[in-house]
Amino acid sequence: AHVDTYNKFLTDEVAEICKVLPNNKLPVYPQKYAGNIFFKDIINCKLLLTDYNGKSCSLNFVVNEIRDSSTTAALHSCNLPLELKGQDFFLQIPSNGFYQDVHLEAPLKSRQKIKNVIGDVFEFSEVPMPLGKPATIVISKPKVSIRLRNKLCIVSVDKKNNLSYIGGQYQNGKVTSKIDRIERLAVAIDTLPPVISNAFFFFFDSITMQNRIMIKVSDNLSGISDYSAYVNNKWELMEFEPKKGAFYITVPSAGYQQKSRLIVEATDRRNNKSVKEITLE
């Protein structure tokens, strides 16, 4: 409710919306209509930003025209539930799901060659529209073999056709998932397990002198859901840093002997599993 999603979609820059949207329920505003302007004449404005340490900066600017582009006939009230149905899709949005009134119709469908995507891409909105409450999306799929059904998932497709995993479950020829924004959606399949690299040492070449070990991990789509490590058949605590795609193992004070055997296991959200054995030298 604070980010201009249209501007972010076009420019990849984050711009703040200087008004309170109708379904913004945050109780942090000092007055009922904070940030909203209801005049159409020239207005001298000052924007003041202050951080928690009391340091501030300001910007003076002039607003010389405010256009009201609302068309009530084409808008759906954000206070009401909304359902869109088609032969191969169903979208259900609860009451107060949107932050403001929206114009939303049946999606545009397109068949594109996008890696891992099966079937059509459903463009419910060119620009992602955030939701204040989760909606439900159901997309029908042709028959697939039983062994692949749990590999299907709902994904979002950005303007460069990059995929972002959302989730979902397959049942009776359909994939169903909760979503937190309206955008381009599709069904994808994830059959590839995570990739686990060799171990990286931080300071010395020998394992006998290490205090920390890093193992890089990557996954093609759904992301890591579970992981574990064993050194000489003993379970070891392992931390995962998703931003770096790496596991970290803290070496005990007694250290590891050379030729110790490290086994790393990683499973993604579609239950694809990798196991890698590494000899620590």
Taking residues 164-169, what's their average pLDDT?
Answer: 96
pLDDT tens digits for range 31-81: 665 656 666 677 888 889 999 999 999 999 988 766 655 544 468 899 999
The 10s digit of each residue's pLDDT in 73-108 is 468 899 999 999 999 999 999 999 999 999 888 899
Asked whether 176 and 138 are in contact (CB, 8 A), the reply is: yes
Q: What pLDDT score does 206 carry?
A: 52
Residue 256 near residue 213 (C-beta atoms within 8 A):
no
- Widest CA span of the chain, in angstroms? 78
* Three-state SS annotation for 193-241: CCEEEEEEECCCCCHHHCCEEEEEEECCCCCEEEEEEEECCEEECEEEE
> Following DSSP, what letter does each residue of 150-205 receive, concatenated?
GGEEEEEE-TT--EEEEE-EEETTEEEEEEEEESEEEEEE--PPPEEEEEEESS-S
Q: Is the pLDDT of residue 20 over 90?
A: no
Compute the average pLDDT of residues 153-158: 95
DSSP state, residue 58: E
**pTM of the shown model:** 0.81
- Please report where in the chains the tokens 């890093």 appear, as a residue: 214
